[in-house]
């Protein structure tokens, strides 16, 4: 293990995370008289809103995840470090990150923490083994493999019950992500794969969208919610509301109705899009600063997005809790730019007391349901159908980072939405099984470190066998 200190003479800014908050924060410091170090556990900036299109074969990974290092290549005051941040020490002003066995300690004068959020299973983390979420590229590729793999297995099965289980897809959570994913699985079954199998008819697949809430897209409410539900049903999606998932296993899930009765749905391919939990770094920052955290693990920040008692440390995006702001890309991007502005003011000698509070400019939110159909809400204006879909298309293209990504995305959308082809239909065994295999390996490592089990290499050399007699 090596400890390396990154030295610098100018005001040193460390940014944790290369998502919307981190990247936009770092970019806003381009011309500032500071040295920026951006540390993230992934090599890319991920455009999460289009992950579902990677999971359903429309877009490639490269379209939505440009390499952060290349995005920031021309920003000379910025260094990009790959690493998982393990610890932030607010008093020592250091961030400790790890890449494989190498530990790096980076010093800061100002810190922007934008480590985002992960999936929440509301205390039932064991559901994750059978119902993966969709937060990362790995998740999306695994899902693609699981969805396409279910069709492949159904083609080989002669047992009607097994076939029905394989061709039943359940999406848990009827928020924007769940709705978009369910819509695309339905389009995959009804359009793209139609006629591609000989033993099964892909159009006979069931796509079930489940939620414990009483409405689809509850944040949109009223008419938009109803329109979205009607459109989903037209696509053949079964909407099951007021339904709480109480158990998930390899072959299906158990659902509890409002009246307390339980029923089982047999399904091989389940997807979880029902909740979020902020990065555990939030808990660490809260413990050191005395800040409170909410149930989703988000840190209550000051109106200037700083931590109580630490005007040089900003927590932004999905990790912050302020005025009930939603977990949206715009909140993170505007938070990143705002934090950068405060850092520039600090470098210019301004005191934190002179800061104006962060003001979120709500540019609206939107969700697609299928090709040619979306719902959008901008202030009081509600748009749905084709116009909503065109608005969705334009806005998502605008915010995709990089010319190449925009260009290849337009091509892929033309092929998928005007035709019925999808260019990204390959999946590999490793993509499907890697997550659970890695989890097992990590459990094994932890048990080994705790001395509960021996070293497999020792077994192969005979040491362990000798010990065991």
**What positions carry a catalytic annotation?**
180
What character string, x for contact with ligand FAD (CB under 6 A) and - otherwise, covers 120-159? --------------xx------------------------
Q: Is residue 183 a contact residue for ligand FAD (CB under 6 A)?
A: no
| Closest by CA position to 5, among listed 113, 103, 83, 88 | 103
Q: Binding string to ligand FAD for residues 272 to 301, with x set by CB under 6 A, is what?
A: -------x-x--------------------
Among residues 168, 330, 334, 384, the one that binds ligand FAD under rule CB under 6 A: 330
Q: Is the C-alpha dihedral spanning 183, 188, 189, 194 positive or negative? A: positive
Q: Which residue, 132 or 252, is less far from ligand FAD as judged by CB?
A: 132
User: Considering only residues 85-124, where is the footprint of ligand FAD by CB under 6 A?
Assistant: 85, 114-116
Scanning 223-231, 306-314, 323-331, 429-437 for contacts with ligand FAD by CB under 6 A, the matching segment is: 323-331
Q: What is the 3-state secondary structure (H, E, C) of 91-142?
A: CCCEEEEEECCEEEEEECCEEEECCCEEECCCCCHHHHHCCCCCCCHHHHHH
Q: Cα(62)–Cα(218) distance, rounded to whole angstroms? A: 32
CA distance 469 to 433: 36
22: contact with ligand FAD by CB under 6 A: yes
Nearer to ligand FAD, 120 or 416 (CB): 120
Q: Is 20 in the site for ligand FAD (CB under 6 A)?
A: yes
Q: Which residues contact 214 (CB under 8 A, 6 or more apart)?
A: 241, 242
Angle at 79 between CA 74 and CA 81, to 5 degrees: 130
Please pick, from the candidates 11, 13, 15, 21, the single residue that binds ligand FAD as defined by CB under 6 A.
Answer: 21
- Select from 276, 190, 206 the least CA-distant residue to 240: 206
Q: How far is the CB of 176 from ligand FAD (least distance, A)?
A: 5
- 36 or 40: CB nearest ligand FAD: 40
CA distance 191 to 331: 36
Site residues (CB under 6 A) for ligand FAD? 16-22, 39-42, 48-49, 51, 84-85, 114-116, 134-135, 176-177, 279, 281, 317-319, 327-330, 332
């Amino acid at each position: 293990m090596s400890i390396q200190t990154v030295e610098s003479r100018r005001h040193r800014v460390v940014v944790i995370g290369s998502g919307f908050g981190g990247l936009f924060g770092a970019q806003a410091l381009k011309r500032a008289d500071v040295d920026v170090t951006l540390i993230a556990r992934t090599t890319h900036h991920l455009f999460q809103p289009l992950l579902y299109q990677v999971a359903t074969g429309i877009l490639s990974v490269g379209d939505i995840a440009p390499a952060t290092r290349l995005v920031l290549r021309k920003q000379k005051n910025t260094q990009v470090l790959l690493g998982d941040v393990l610890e932030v020490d607010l008093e020592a002003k250091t961030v400790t990150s790890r890449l494989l066995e190498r530990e790096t300690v980076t010093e800061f004068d100002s810190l922007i923490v934008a480590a985002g959020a992960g999936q929440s299973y509301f205390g039932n983390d064991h559901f994750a083994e059978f119902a993966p979420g969709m937060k990362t590229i790995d998740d999306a590729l695994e899902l693609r493999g699981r969805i396409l793999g279910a069709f492949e297995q159904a083609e080989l099965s002669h047992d009607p019950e097994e076939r029905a289980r394989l061709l039943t897809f359940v999406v848990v959570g009827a928020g924007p992500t769940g709705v978009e994913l369910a819509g695309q699985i339905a389009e995959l079954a009804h359009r793209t794969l139609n006629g591609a199998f000989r033993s099964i008819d892909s159009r006979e697949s069931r796509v079930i969208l489940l939620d414990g809430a009483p409405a689809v897209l509850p944040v949109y409410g009223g008419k938009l919610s109803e329109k979205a539900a009607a459109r989903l049903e037209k696509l053949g999606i079964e909407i099951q509301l007021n339904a709480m998932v109480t158990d998930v296993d390899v072959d299906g899930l158990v659902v509890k109705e409002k009246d307390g009765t339980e029923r089982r749905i047999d399904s091989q391919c389940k997807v979880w899009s029902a909740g979020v939990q902020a990065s555990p770094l939030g808990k660490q920052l809260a413990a050191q600063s005395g800040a409170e955290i909410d149930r989703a693990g988000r840190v209550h920040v000051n109106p200037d997005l700083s931590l109580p008692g630490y005007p040089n440390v900003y927590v932004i995006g999905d990790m912050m809790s302020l005025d009930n702001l939603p977990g949206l890309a715009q909140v993170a991007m505007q938070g990143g730019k705002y934090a950068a502005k405060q850092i520039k003011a600090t470098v210019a000698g301004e005191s934190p007391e002179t800061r104006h509070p962060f003001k979120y400019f709500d540019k609206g939110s939107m969700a697609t349901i299928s090709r040619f159909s979306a719902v959008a809400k901008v202030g009081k204006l509600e748009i749905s159908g084709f116009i909503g879909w065109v608005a969705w298309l334009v806005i998502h293209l605008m915010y995709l980072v990089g010319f190449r990504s925009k260009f290849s995305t337009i091509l892929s959308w033309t092929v998928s939405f005007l035709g019925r082809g999808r260019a990204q239909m390959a999946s590999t065994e490793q993509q499907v099984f890697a997550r659970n295999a890695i989890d097992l390996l990590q459990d094994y490592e932890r048990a080994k470190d705790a001395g509960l089990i021996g070293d497999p290499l020792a077994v192969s050399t005979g040491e362990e066998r000798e010990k065991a007699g």
